[in-house]
Amino acid sequence: MRRHVAAFKSKSQADTAKVLSLSDLIVAYESQIDSNTAIIEKQEEHIKKLNSSENSYRSIFMQKELEITDLQIKTKTDASNIKDYLKQISNYRDQLKFSQASSCVPFGNFTGIALLHLPGGEPFYAPCESRLQQGLGWTVIQRRLDGSVNFYRDWNDYR
């Protein structure tokens, strides 16, 4: 029986040592779990911040996309307006050219009555002829059949 008691005592001491060793191991694992839990909580907080930043950047991105779309529409509208303005400028340039014409040349391929402006004189209407073989821009001097105007003048009178 002593032997059994000694063996039991020996086994009890071994089991106590094993329990102490396992208790130390449990404490170490609990410490590791606490450390890992703290790391996970920090990572979760970091993920929340990143998600918040992502939402903020997504909102900014969508706002910028809307601004880009608005600017593209405005650019198209402005381009259309510029084309219209260029057409108006071209028309005004032509009107100005014709309104200040001192001969029929600026009217090009035009046959009919045009308003001419000679320097130092009042504007007057004159017939222009573009169907002549000599080319475009001829000012036609017409003879009156009733004789009310003398066409036997020198060239200075026709300027």
- Predicted model pTM: 0.45
Query: Is residue 89 located within the same domain as residue 129?
Result: no
Query: Is residue 89 located within the same domain as residue 109?
Result: no
Residue 13: predicted pLDDT: 86
What are φ and ψ of residue 146, in 5° steps? -85, -5
Query: Is residue 152 located within the same domain as residue 116?
Result: yes
Query: Is residue 85 located within the same domain as residue 121?
Result: no
Lowest mean pLDDT segment, chosen from 15-24, 61-70, 135-144, 149-158: 135-144
Residue 26 falls inside a structural domain? no
Residue 10 falls inside a structural domain? no
Contact (Cβ atoms closer than 8 angstroms) between residue 105 and residue 137: yes
Query: Is residue 132 located within the same domain as residue 151?
Result: yes
**Rg of the chain in Å (alpha carbons):** 53
Residue 15 falls inside a structural domain? no
pLDDT band for position 145 (cuts 50, 70, 90): low
SS3 category, 130: coil
The model's pLDDT over 63-115, given as tens digits with 9 standing for 90+, comes to 999 999 999 999 999 999 999 999 999 988 877 766 677 777 777 777 788 88
Domain count, the chain: 2
Averaged pLDDT score across all residues of the chain? 84
Q: Which domain holds residue 67?
A: 47-99
Torsion of CA 102, 103, 104, 106, to 10 degrees: -60
Residue 118: predicted pLDDT: 79
pLDDT band for position 30 (cuts 50, 70, 90): very high
